[in-house]
Amino acid sequence: MPLSDDEERRLDEIERELAYGAPKLAAAAVPDRDSQRPLMIATAELFLGIAVLLTGLVISQGPVVTGVATVMVGLSTMVRPLVRRIGLRHHN
């Protein structure tokens, strides 16, 4: 639902007041695209892993070895961003 003109004007006023009164807080309140990139990549890897996992489950109805291998690739694709994220936090 879009904001009314009055609501948008008031929101702009609040943003300007915040930027003037607390510039560090204002800068931290709006994340830039570069800081969101790792999260977007991890989310894409998670969904790709789910897709590969489901494909492996379907394939496992035929040749079991191919299905199991595909499931394992899907699981590793899903877990890798989590492990990488935990590893990054551990080192910080």
Enumerate the domain spans of the chain: 1-30, 33-92
Of the two residues 74 and 33, the one the predictor is more confident about is: 74
Own/partner long-range contacts of 44-48 (Cβ < 8 Å, ≥24 apart): 45/77, 45/78, 45/80, 45/81, 46/78, 46/81, 48/77
Give the span between the Cα atoms of 22 and 25, in whole angstroms: 5
Question: Closest Cα partner for 81 from 39, 20, 18?
Answer: 39
The model's pTM is 0.50
34-70, pLDDT tens digit by residue? 667 777 888 888 888 888 888 888 887 777 888 888 8
